[in-house]
Amino acid sequence: PGLRAILSESCGRVKAMALTHQLLYERKDFSRIDLGDYLRRLVQSIRASYRAGSDRITLQLTPPEESVHLDLERAIPCGLLVNELVTNSFKHAFPGERRGEIVIELAEEPVGQICLSVADNGIGLPPESDLAQNSPLGLQLVPLFVEQLHGSLLIERKGGTRFSMIFPKRQNGKDDQ
């Protein structure tokens, strides 16, 4: 990728981290953030960055019914993870003038787990695609972010691509309620 693309991707990562800190200061709670609110604002920021293609690619967030709070230590990798996956979809899933949608879903499971998915109905990842090698840097970072969340990752390649992550709501026995 060219220098302009690298700078743009880096800028997106910085915005995702800065948004975390902005929310902490706004809410006067420096230990956790409302993940649904964070993702809503992150989606607005990403949408603004890709406004040229916004008429042919829709980006939507399906938030949880109730607030889901996440500690700061894991909020940053979670935001970076979503930023990488959505950015990758915008850049690669809809070549040419192809139309489509990107959907982010967030839900809390009764067993103390958070389910987060980023899906698109684009051209999909090739079957031989391996996130550890021969992928853009952003996709190579995805498993690292999932590991920082102490979660698991499932990739589906039917009718586009879906990245599904499941990770514990509480970290190290701490209650984030």
pLDDT at site 12: 60
pLDDT at site 11: 61
Question: pTM value?
Answer: 0.80
Tens of pLDDT, residues 20-49: 656 555 666 657 788 888 888 888 888 877
Query: Which residues are registered as beta bridge partners of 156?
Result: 162
Tens of pLDDT, residues 73-121: 888 889 889 988 998 898 889 998 899 999 999 999 888 999 999 999 9
Looking at per-residue confidence, does 130 or 148 come out higher?
Answer: 148
Where does 28-88 have alpha helices with state H? 35-49, 72-88
Start-to-end CA distance of the chain, whole Å, equals: 42
Radius of gyration from C-alpha coordinates of the chain: 16
